[in-house]
Protein backbone atom coordinates (compact mmCIF):
# COMPACT_ATOMS: atom_id res chain seq x y z
CA UNK A 1 0.00 0.00 0.00
CA UNK A 2 1.46 3.37 -0.94
CA UNK A 3 1.19 6.48 1.19
CA UNK A 4 0.62 10.07 0.10
CA UNK A 5 1.68 13.08 2.19
CA UNK A 6 0.26 16.55 1.77
CA UNK A 7 3.30 18.31 3.11
CA UNK A 8 4.45 21.86 3.80
CA UNK A 9 0.98 22.85 5.02
CA UNK A 10 1.05 26.33 6.56
CA UNK A 11 -2.19 25.77 8.48
CA UNK A 12 -3.65 22.28 8.85
CA UNK A 13 -7.21 22.23 10.14
CA UNK A 14 -7.81 18.71 11.40
CA UNK A 15 -11.32 19.32 12.76
CA UNK A 16 -10.33 17.21 15.77
CA UNK A 17 -9.60 19.37 18.85
CA UNK A 18 -7.39 16.72 20.47
CA UNK A 19 -4.95 16.91 17.52
CA UNK A 20 -4.15 20.61 17.67
CA UNK A 21 -5.08 24.06 18.88
CA UNK A 22 -8.53 25.54 19.32
CA UNK A 23 -11.94 24.10 18.48
CA UNK A 24 -10.80 23.03 15.00
CA UNK A 25 -7.59 21.28 16.12
CA UNK A 26 -5.21 23.51 14.12
CA UNK A 27 -1.53 22.73 13.45
CA UNK A 28 1.08 25.04 11.91
CA UNK A 29 3.78 23.77 9.49
CA UNK A 30 2.31 20.34 9.30
CA UNK A 31 1.66 17.38 7.05
CA UNK A 32 -1.21 14.92 6.71
CA UNK A 33 -0.59 11.39 5.47
CA UNK A 34 -3.08 9.23 3.56
CA UNK A 35 -2.94 5.50 2.98
CA UNK A 36 -5.52 3.19 1.48
CA UNK A 37 -8.06 6.02 1.20
CA UNK A 38 -7.80 6.99 4.87
CA UNK A 39 -5.92 9.46 7.03
CA UNK A 40 -3.17 7.60 8.87
CA UNK A 41 -1.29 10.45 10.59
CA UNK A 42 -0.87 14.18 11.04
CA UNK A 43 2.71 15.26 11.67
CA UNK A 44 5.22 18.09 11.52
CA UNK A 45 6.09 19.20 7.99
CA UNK A 46 8.91 17.37 6.23
CA UNK A 47 7.69 13.76 6.35
CA UNK A 48 8.67 10.71 4.30
CA UNK A 49 5.98 9.10 2.15
CA UNK A 50 5.70 7.25 -1.17
CA UNK A 51 4.06 10.28 -2.79
CA UNK A 52 4.13 13.93 -1.84
CA UNK A 53 1.98 16.98 -2.61
CA UNK A 54 3.62 20.28 -1.65
CA UNK A 55 0.94 22.59 -0.26
CA UNK A 56 3.35 25.52 -0.52
CA UNK A 57 2.49 26.86 2.93
CA UNK A 58 -1.24 27.05 2.15
CA UNK A 59 -4.16 25.97 4.33
CA UNK A 60 -5.40 22.36 4.16
CA UNK A 61 -8.70 21.41 5.78
CA UNK A 62 -11.32 18.64 5.74
CA UNK A 63 -13.51 18.65 2.63
CA UNK A 64 -17.01 20.04 3.05
CA UNK A 65 -19.78 17.62 4.04
CA UNK A 66 -22.91 18.87 2.31
CA UNK A 67 -25.69 17.24 4.30
CA UNK A 68 -28.66 18.74 2.41
CA UNK A 69 -28.94 18.78 -1.40
CA UNK A 70 -31.51 18.12 -4.09
CA UNK A 71 -29.04 17.37 -6.91
CA UNK A 72 -31.42 15.18 -8.93
CA UNK A 73 -33.72 17.38 -11.00
CA UNK A 74 -34.36 18.62 -14.53
CA UNK A 75 -35.57 22.03 -15.66
CA UNK A 76 -34.86 25.63 -14.81
CA UNK A 77 -36.62 28.16 -12.60
CA UNK A 78 -34.61 31.28 -13.32
CA UNK A 79 -37.77 33.18 -14.26
CA UNK A 80 -39.26 32.41 -10.83
CA UNK A 81 -36.03 33.63 -9.25
CA UNK A 82 -36.10 36.83 -11.31
CA UNK A 83 -39.70 37.45 -10.26
CA UNK A 84 -38.67 36.97 -6.64
CA UNK A 85 -35.86 39.47 -6.97
CA UNK A 86 -38.51 41.86 -8.30
CA UNK A 87 -40.59 41.39 -5.14
CA UNK A 88 -42.70 38.24 -5.53
CA UNK A 89 -42.75 35.94 -2.47
CA UNK A 90 -41.25 32.41 -2.48
CA UNK A 91 -43.86 29.63 -2.32
CA UNK A 92 -43.39 25.90 -1.70
CA UNK A 93 -45.65 25.21 -4.71
CA UNK A 94 -42.82 26.08 -7.15
CA UNK A 95 -41.52 22.56 -6.51
CA UNK A 96 -44.25 21.30 -8.87
CA UNK A 97 -42.64 23.12 -11.81
CA UNK A 98 -39.42 21.14 -11.36
CA UNK A 99 -41.49 18.02 -10.84
CA UNK A 100 -43.00 18.27 -14.33
CA UNK A 101 -39.54 18.45 -15.93
CA UNK A 102 -38.12 15.69 -13.73
CA UNK A 103 -40.94 13.25 -14.49
CA UNK A 104 -40.34 13.41 -18.25
CA UNK A 105 -36.51 13.28 -18.02
CA UNK A 106 -34.83 9.92 -18.60
CA UNK A 107 -32.73 8.37 -15.84
CA UNK A 108 -29.68 8.87 -18.08
CA UNK A 109 -30.38 12.59 -18.45
CA UNK A 110 -31.02 13.02 -14.73
CA UNK A 111 -27.77 11.22 -13.97
CA UNK A 112 -25.78 13.41 -16.38
CA UNK A 113 -27.26 16.57 -14.83
CA UNK A 114 -26.60 15.33 -11.30
CA UNK A 115 -22.96 14.51 -12.11
CA UNK A 116 -22.49 17.99 -13.61
CA UNK A 117 -23.69 19.50 -10.33
CA UNK A 118 -21.53 17.08 -8.35
CA UNK A 119 -18.47 18.11 -10.40
CA UNK A 120 -19.25 21.74 -9.61
CA UNK A 121 -19.38 20.84 -5.90
CA UNK A 122 -16.01 19.07 -6.08
CA UNK A 123 -14.51 22.23 -7.53
CA UNK A 124 -15.97 24.09 -4.54
CA UNK A 125 -14.49 21.57 -2.08
CA UNK A 126 -17.52 19.38 -1.30
CA UNK A 127 -16.18 15.89 -0.70
CA UNK A 128 -19.40 14.24 0.47
CA UNK A 129 -23.07 14.89 -0.33
CA UNK A 130 -26.45 13.81 0.86
CA UNK A 131 -28.93 13.80 -2.04
CA UNK A 132 -32.72 13.88 -1.75
CA UNK A 133 -35.36 12.75 -4.20
CA UNK A 134 -38.51 14.87 -4.14
CA UNK A 135 -39.03 16.19 -7.65
CA UNK A 136 -40.66 13.03 -9.02
CA UNK A 137 -43.71 12.89 -6.76
CA UNK A 138 -45.04 9.67 -8.32
CA UNK A 139 -43.86 6.14 -7.61
CA UNK A 140 -41.80 5.59 -10.77
CA UNK A 141 -40.24 9.06 -10.83
CA UNK A 142 -39.28 8.97 -7.15
CA UNK A 143 -37.77 5.48 -7.60
CA UNK A 144 -35.91 6.78 -10.68
CA UNK A 145 -34.57 9.76 -8.70
CA UNK A 146 -33.41 7.59 -5.79
CA UNK A 147 -31.65 5.19 -8.17
CA UNK A 148 -29.81 8.13 -9.80
CA UNK A 149 -28.86 9.60 -6.42
CA UNK A 150 -27.50 6.22 -5.28
CA UNK A 151 -24.95 6.37 -8.12
CA UNK A 152 -23.46 9.52 -6.55
CA UNK A 153 -23.62 8.90 -2.80
CA UNK A 154 -24.42 6.42 -0.06
CA UNK A 155 -26.46 9.12 1.74
CA UNK A 156 -29.66 9.06 -0.32
CA UNK A 157 -32.85 10.50 1.18
CA UNK A 158 -36.39 9.66 0.09
CA UNK A 159 -38.40 12.90 0.00
CA UNK A 160 -41.70 11.85 -1.55
CA UNK A 161 -43.34 14.25 0.95
CA UNK A 162 -41.82 17.34 -0.66
CA UNK A 163 -45.07 18.85 -1.88
CA UNK A 164 -48.50 17.48 -2.81
CA UNK A 165 -48.53 16.98 -6.62
CA UNK A 166 -51.33 18.64 -8.61
CA UNK A 167 -53.20 15.39 -9.23
CA UNK A 168 -53.67 14.92 -5.45
CA UNK A 169 -54.53 18.55 -4.70
CA UNK A 170 -58.09 17.72 -3.66
CA UNK A 171 -56.99 14.80 -1.44
CA UNK A 172 -53.56 15.39 0.14
CA UNK A 173 -54.03 12.56 2.64
CA UNK A 174 -54.34 10.09 -0.23
CA UNK A 175 -50.93 11.32 -1.43
CA UNK A 176 -49.51 10.87 2.07
CA UNK A 177 -50.80 7.29 2.03
CA UNK A 178 -49.09 6.71 -1.33
CA UNK A 179 -45.81 8.15 0.02
CA UNK A 180 -45.78 5.96 3.12
CA UNK A 181 -46.98 2.90 1.23
CA UNK A 182 -46.10 1.98 -2.34
CA UNK A 183 -43.68 4.88 -2.95
CA UNK A 184 -41.67 4.19 0.20
CA UNK A 185 -41.47 0.49 -0.67
CA UNK A 186 -40.14 1.34 -4.15
CA UNK A 187 -37.55 3.84 -2.86
CA UNK A 188 -36.36 2.48 0.50
CA UNK A 189 -33.90 -0.10 -0.92
CA UNK A 190 -31.77 2.74 -2.37
CA UNK A 191 -32.04 5.04 0.64
CA UNK A 192 -30.52 5.60 4.05
CA UNK A 193 -32.88 8.41 5.06
CA UNK A 194 -36.45 9.67 4.82
CA UNK A 195 -37.40 13.36 4.90
CA UNK A 196 -40.57 15.49 4.72
CA UNK A 197 -41.30 19.20 4.24
CA UNK A 198 -43.23 20.45 7.28
CA UNK A 199 -44.57 23.85 6.20
CA UNK A 200 -47.68 25.74 5.22
CA UNK A 201 -48.20 24.87 1.55
CA UNK A 202 -46.45 21.51 1.94
CA UNK A 203 -47.33 19.03 4.74
CA UNK A 204 -48.76 19.34 8.26
CA UNK A 205 -46.88 18.07 11.28
CA UNK A 206 -49.25 15.11 11.55
CA UNK A 207 -48.75 14.19 7.89
CA UNK A 208 -44.98 14.45 8.36
CA UNK A 209 -45.17 12.28 11.48
CA UNK A 210 -47.04 9.58 9.54
CA UNK A 211 -44.46 9.63 6.73
CA UNK A 212 -41.43 9.61 9.05
CA UNK A 213 -42.81 6.81 11.22
CA UNK A 214 -43.43 4.68 8.13
CA UNK A 215 -39.86 5.40 7.02
CA UNK A 216 -38.49 4.38 10.40
CA UNK A 217 -40.47 1.14 10.24
CA UNK A 218 -38.84 0.52 6.83
CA UNK A 219 -35.38 0.92 8.40
CA UNK A 220 -34.61 4.50 7.35
CA UNK A 221 -33.14 7.28 9.50
CA UNK A 222 -35.15 10.49 9.86
CA UNK A 223 -34.60 14.06 8.68
CA UNK A 224 -37.08 16.94 8.39
CA UNK A 225 -37.43 20.31 6.64
CA UNK A 226 -38.83 22.61 9.32
CA UNK A 227 -39.42 26.26 10.25
CA UNK A 228 -38.30 27.55 6.85
CA UNK A 229 -40.97 30.05 5.85
CA UNK A 230 -42.52 30.75 9.25
CA UNK A 231 -42.80 29.45 12.81
CA UNK A 232 -44.15 25.94 13.12
CA UNK A 233 -44.04 22.53 14.72
CA UNK A 234 -41.27 21.06 12.56
CA UNK A 235 -38.32 21.48 14.91
CA UNK A 236 -40.16 20.05 17.91
CA UNK A 237 -41.48 17.14 15.85
CA UNK A 238 -37.97 16.32 14.61
CA UNK A 239 -36.60 16.37 18.14
CA UNK A 240 -39.48 14.26 19.47
CA UNK A 241 -38.89 11.66 16.74
CA UNK A 242 -35.10 11.79 17.35
CA UNK A 243 -34.42 12.79 13.75
CA UNK A 244 -30.74 13.13 12.84
CA UNK A 245 -31.31 16.65 11.55
CA UNK A 246 -33.91 19.36 11.15
CA UNK A 247 -33.10 21.66 8.28
CA UNK A 248 -33.68 25.38 7.65
CA UNK A 249 -34.50 26.48 11.26
CA UNK A 250 -35.01 30.04 10.06
CA UNK A 251 -37.91 30.83 12.41
CA UNK A 252 -37.23 29.49 15.90
CA UNK A 253 -39.24 30.04 19.09
CA UNK A 254 -37.56 29.70 22.49
CA UNK A 255 -39.17 26.26 22.87
CA UNK A 256 -37.59 25.14 19.58
CA UNK A 257 -34.12 26.23 20.70
CA UNK A 258 -34.59 24.51 24.07
CA UNK A 259 -35.72 21.32 22.36
CA UNK A 260 -32.69 21.34 20.03
CA UNK A 261 -30.30 22.01 22.90
CA UNK A 262 -31.39 18.96 24.82
CA UNK A 263 -31.30 16.61 21.85
CA UNK A 264 -29.10 14.75 19.35
CA UNK A 265 -30.97 16.41 16.48
CA UNK A 266 -28.62 18.68 14.52
CA UNK A 267 -29.93 22.12 13.50
CA UNK A 268 -28.88 22.46 9.86
CA UNK A 269 -28.85 25.99 8.48
CA UNK A 270 -29.21 26.66 4.75
CA UNK A 271 -28.40 30.37 4.44
CA UNK A 272 -28.10 30.38 0.63
CA UNK A 273 -31.83 29.58 0.69
CA UNK A 274 -32.63 32.58 2.88
CA UNK A 275 -30.51 34.67 0.51
CA UNK A 276 -32.41 33.44 -2.56
CA UNK A 277 -35.88 33.56 -1.00
CA UNK A 278 -35.31 36.89 0.76
CA UNK A 279 -36.03 35.39 4.17
CA UNK A 280 -34.29 36.65 7.30
CA UNK A 281 -31.14 34.72 8.22
CA UNK A 282 -31.44 32.31 11.16
CA UNK A 283 -29.93 33.34 14.49
CA UNK A 284 -27.28 30.66 14.71
CA UNK A 285 -25.61 32.35 17.69
CA UNK A 286 -28.69 31.72 19.82
CA UNK A 287 -28.78 28.05 18.85
CA UNK A 288 -25.04 27.50 19.42
CA UNK A 289 -25.08 29.34 22.75
CA UNK A 290 -27.95 27.12 23.89
CA UNK A 291 -25.70 24.09 23.31
CA UNK A 292 -27.17 22.55 20.16
CA UNK A 293 -25.08 20.97 17.39
CA UNK A 294 -25.29 22.89 14.13
CA UNK A 295 -24.47 22.21 10.48
CA UNK A 296 -24.29 24.33 7.34
CA UNK A 297 -25.37 22.93 3.96
CA UNK A 298 -25.91 24.32 0.46
CA UNK A 299 -29.44 22.96 -0.23
CA UNK A 300 -28.55 22.89 -3.94
CA UNK A 301 -31.90 22.94 -5.79
CA UNK A 302 -33.44 24.84 -8.71
CA UNK A 303 -36.02 26.77 -6.70
CA UNK A 304 -34.70 28.16 -3.46
CA UNK A 305 -30.91 27.71 -3.53
CA UNK A 306 -29.25 27.15 -6.89
CA UNK A 307 -25.67 27.05 -5.64
CA UNK A 308 -23.02 24.45 -4.86
CA UNK A 309 -20.87 26.94 -2.98
CA UNK A 310 -20.30 26.06 0.66
CA UNK A 311 -17.89 28.99 0.76
CA UNK A 312 -20.84 31.30 0.06
CA UNK A 313 -22.79 29.65 2.92
CA UNK A 314 -19.83 30.18 5.27
CA UNK A 315 -19.64 33.84 4.25
CA UNK A 316 -23.35 34.35 5.00
CA UNK A 317 -23.12 32.45 8.29
CA UNK A 318 -20.29 34.67 9.54
CA UNK A 319 -21.59 37.90 8.06
CA UNK A 320 -25.26 37.51 8.99
CA UNK A 321 -25.87 34.63 11.40
CA UNK A 322 -23.52 35.42 14.26
CA UNK A 323 -21.13 32.53 13.69
CA UNK A 324 -17.36 32.78 14.01
CA UNK A 325 -15.23 31.55 11.11
CA UNK A 326 -14.23 28.50 13.16
CA UNK A 327 -17.87 27.71 13.95
CA UNK A 328 -18.91 28.06 10.33
CA UNK A 329 -16.04 25.90 9.07
CA UNK A 330 -16.83 23.32 11.75
CA UNK A 331 -20.52 23.36 10.82
CA UNK A 332 -19.70 22.82 7.13
CA UNK A 333 -17.43 19.84 7.85
CA UNK A 334 -17.89 17.84 11.05
CA UNK A 335 -21.32 19.47 11.62
CA UNK A 336 -22.47 18.04 8.28
CA UNK A 337 -21.05 14.68 9.30
CA UNK A 338 -22.99 14.83 12.59
CA UNK A 339 -26.18 15.66 10.66
CA UNK A 340 -25.58 12.45 8.71
CA UNK A 341 -24.60 10.55 11.88
CA UNK A 342 -21.19 9.72 10.44
CA UNK A 343 -17.85 9.55 12.25
CA UNK A 344 -15.77 8.69 9.18
CA UNK A 345 -15.89 12.08 7.41
CA UNK A 346 -15.66 15.78 8.29
CA UNK A 347 -12.28 15.56 10.09
CA UNK A 348 -8.66 14.88 9.15
CA UNK A 349 -8.05 12.47 12.00
CA UNK A 350 -6.47 9.01 11.78
CA UNK A 351 -9.06 6.48 10.60
CA UNK A 352 -11.23 9.03 8.78
CA UNK A 353 -11.75 8.98 5.03
CA UNK A 354 -8.99 10.99 3.36
CA UNK A 355 -11.27 13.83 2.18
CA UNK A 356 -9.34 17.11 2.15
CA UNK A 357 -9.09 20.40 0.35
CA UNK A 358 -6.04 22.54 -0.32
CA UNK A 359 -7.00 26.21 -0.30
CA UNK A 360 -5.47 28.96 -2.36
CA UNK A 361 -5.33 30.86 0.91
CA UNK A 362 -3.49 30.86 4.20
CA UNK A 363 -6.68 30.54 6.25
CA UNK A 364 -10.40 29.82 5.77
CA UNK A 365 -11.25 33.37 6.80
CA UNK A 366 -10.78 34.10 3.09
CA UNK A 367 -14.17 32.44 2.40
CA UNK A 368 -15.62 35.52 4.14
CA UNK A 369 -12.91 38.08 3.47
CA UNK A 370 -12.77 37.29 -0.26
CA UNK A 371 -16.38 36.27 -0.91
CA UNK A 372 -17.17 34.74 -4.27
CA UNK A 373 -13.52 34.07 -5.11
CA UNK A 374 -12.81 30.41 -5.98
CA UNK A 375 -10.44 29.37 -3.20
CA UNK A 376 -10.19 25.60 -3.61
CA UNK A 377 -6.95 24.59 -5.33
CA UNK A 378 -7.27 20.81 -5.01
CA UNK A 379 -9.93 18.43 -3.71
CA UNK A 380 -9.06 14.93 -2.43
CA UNK A 381 -11.73 12.26 -1.93
CA UNK A 382 -10.63 9.02 -0.25
CA UNK A 383 -7.00 10.00 -0.77
CA UNK A 384 -7.24 10.65 -4.53
CA UNK A 385 -7.34 13.91 -6.43
CA UNK A 386 -11.00 14.45 -7.40
CA UNK A 387 -10.37 17.92 -8.80
CA UNK A 388 -7.34 20.15 -9.23
CA UNK A 389 -7.01 23.73 -10.45
CA UNK A 390 -3.89 22.56 -12.25
CA UNK A 391 -5.93 20.15 -14.40
d(CA 348, CA 223): 26
Going by their DSSP bridges, the two strands 26-35 and 3-13 should be labelled as: antiparallel
Q: With CB under 6 A as the contact rule, which of the stretches 117-125, 299-307, 342-350, 365-373 interacts with ligand NIG?
A: 299-307
Interaction of residue 227 with ligand NIG, rule CB under 6 A: no
Report the nearest approach of ligand NIG to the CB of residue 58 (Å): 34
Q: Which of 174, 149, 148, 176 is nearest to 160 (CA)?
A: 176
d(CA 388, CA 381): 12
Region label for 204, one of left (φ > 0), alpha (ψ between -120 and 50) or beta (otherwise): beta
Q: With CB under 6 A as the contact rule, which of the stretches 260-268, 302-310, 340-348, 379-387 interacts with ligand NIG?
A: 302-310
d(CA 385, CA 380): 4
Going by their DSSP bridges, the two strands 245-248 and 221-226 should be labelled as: parallel
Interaction of residue 268 with ligand NIG, rule CB under 6 A: no
Cβ atoms of residues 248 and 228 within 8 Å: yes
Size of the site for ligand NIG (CB under 6 A): 13
d(CA 388, CA 391): 5
Choice between 197 and 367, CB closer to ligand NIG: 197
Report the nearest approach of ligand NIG to the CB of residue 108 (Å): 22
Report the nearest approach of ligand NIG to the CB of residue 255 (Å): 22
Choice between 115 and 275, CB closer to ligand NIG: 275
Please tell me whether residue 175 adopts helix, strand or coil conformation.
Answer: helix
Interaction of residue 98 with ligand NIG, rule CB under 6 A: yes
| Interface with ligand NIG (CB under 6 A), residue from 84, 118, 223, 225 | 225
Q: How far is CA 377 from CA 65, 99, 123, 124, 282, in A?
A: 17, 36, 8, 9, 31
Interaction of residue 301 with ligand NIG, rule CB under 6 A: yes
| Interface with ligand NIG (CB under 6 A), residue from 19, 45, 95, 161 | 95
Region label for 342, one of left (φ > 0), alpha (ψ between -120 and 50) or beta (otherwise): beta
Q: Provide φ and ψ at 82, rounded to 5°.
A: -60, -40
Q: How far is CA 168 from CA 174, 175, 211, in A?
A: 7, 6, 16
Report the nearest approach of ligand NIG to the CB of residue 170 (Å): 22
d(CA 338, CA 243): 12
Q: Where are the beta strands (DSSP E) in the chain?
A: 3-13, 26-35, 38-44, 51-54, 59-62, 64-66, 126-132, 155-161, 193-198, 221-226, 245-248, 266-269, 294-296, 356-359, 376-381, 384-388
Q: With CB under 6 A as the contact rule, which of the stretches 26-34, 203-211, 303-311, 377-385 interacts with ligand NIG?
A: 303-311
Choice between 197 and 387, CB closer to ligand NIG: 197
Report the nearest approach of ligand NIG to the CB of residue 120 (Å): 18
Report the nearest approach of ligand NIG to the CB of residue 24 (Å): 28
Neighbours of 372 (CB within 10 A): 10
Interaction of residue 69 with ligand NIG, rule CB under 6 A: no
Euclidean distance between the first and the last CA atom of the chain, given in angstroms as a whole number: 25
| Interface with ligand NIG (CB under 6 A), residue from 81, 158, 197, 203 | 197
Choice between 158 and 197, CB closer to ligand NIG: 197
Choice between 24 and 126, CB closer to ligand NIG: 126
d(CA 245, CA 335): 10
Beta bridge partners of 353: 38
Interaction of residue 276 with ligand NIG, rule CB under 6 A: no
Interaction of residue 299 with ligand NIG, rule CB under 6 A: yes
Report the nearest approach of ligand NIG to the CB of residue 146 (Å): 16
Q: With CB under 6 A as the contact rule, which of the stretches 13-21, 93-101, 175-183, 281-289 interacts with ligand NIG?
A: 93-101
Interaction of residue 94 with ligand NIG, rule CB under 6 A: yes
Report the nearest approach of ligand NIG to the CB of residue 99 (Å): 9
Interaction of residue 228 with ligand NIG, rule CB under 6 A: yes
Report the nearest approach of ligand NIG to the CB of residue 176 (Å): 16
| Interface with ligand NIG (CB under 6 A), residue from 69, 141, 250, 273 | 273
**Residues forming the site for ligand NIG (CB under 6 A):** 94-95, 98, 197, 225, 228, 273, 299, 301-305
Amino acid sequence: MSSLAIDNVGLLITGEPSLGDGPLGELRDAAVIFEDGKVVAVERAGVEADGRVDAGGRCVMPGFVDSHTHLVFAGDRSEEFAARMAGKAYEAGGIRVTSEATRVASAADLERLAWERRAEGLRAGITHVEIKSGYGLDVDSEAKSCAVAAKLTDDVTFLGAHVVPAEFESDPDAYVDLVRGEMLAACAPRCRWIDAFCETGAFTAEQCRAVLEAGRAAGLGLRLHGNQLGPGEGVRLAVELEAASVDHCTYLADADVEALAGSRTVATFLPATDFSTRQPYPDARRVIDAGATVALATNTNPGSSNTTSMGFCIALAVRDMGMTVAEAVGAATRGGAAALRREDIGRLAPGCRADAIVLDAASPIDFVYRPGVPLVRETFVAGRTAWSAEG
